[in-house]
Amino acid sequence: MPLTIAEIESVLVARVGGYLVRVGMDSTTVNGTNPDLRDPIATAVRQMGLPLADPMTVSNADLVAVAGLAYLGLLDRAELRTLENIWGHWPEFDQSAGEESQSLSQLSANLMARIKELTERFRQQKEDALTIASRPGPSVHGLIRAGRCDPARPWDWAAWRACR
């Protein structure tokens, strides 16, 4: 059964809903119409190499090709893009006035740490895939002989054995 946009939105809100609230983005809509999560989902689908019927939005029909363990990759990629969008909306920074100070950049630092972690995971997965693709294929079992074995007398057992 294919994954739906509403299910992806539900997972994303569960993963990063607190951050969405903090920056004033929609963190309650999980019925497939969340405007703040459409771009991350569409970006994740495109990063997986899947086409979108409409280049500006994603639909449930675009998700039909996602199967198996690819769900996890799609969700992680959508989370990464959501965190990047949240980081771009983060309005607060450290402030100080005389002896008073407020450290408001801690959340931003936590966001950047998670963004770096996900980015590194995808980079490592890509390198692993390239390494596997560059390895030689499975070895041939047995001895490879040059030439062709066609004894003049096929009934002669000794001639056939010599070809082996």
**Residue 54 three-state SS:** strand
CA distances from 139 to 11, 37, 45 (A): 43, 47, 36
- Work out the number of other CB atoms within 10 angstroms of the CB of residue 88: 9
122 vs 41, more confident = 41
pLDDT tens digits, residue range 3-58?
A: 899 999 999 999 999 999 988 899 998 998 999 999 999 999 999 889 899 888 89
pLDDT above 90 for 80 = yes
Cα distances (angstroms) measured from residue 74 to each of 10, 34, 85, 100, 104: 14, 17, 17, 44, 31
Is the pTM value of this prediction over 0.85? no
Give the model's pLDDT for residue 122. Answer: 86
Determine what percent of the chain is predicted with pLDDT higher than 90: 38
CA–CA dist 42, 5 (Å, integer): 10
Specify the pLDDT at position 25.
Answer: 93
The pLDDT score that the predictor gives to residue 135 is: 63
CA–CA dist 117, 134 (Å, integer): 26
Q: What is the residue whose two structure tokens read 């809509």?
A: 29
Mean pLDDT of the chain: 81
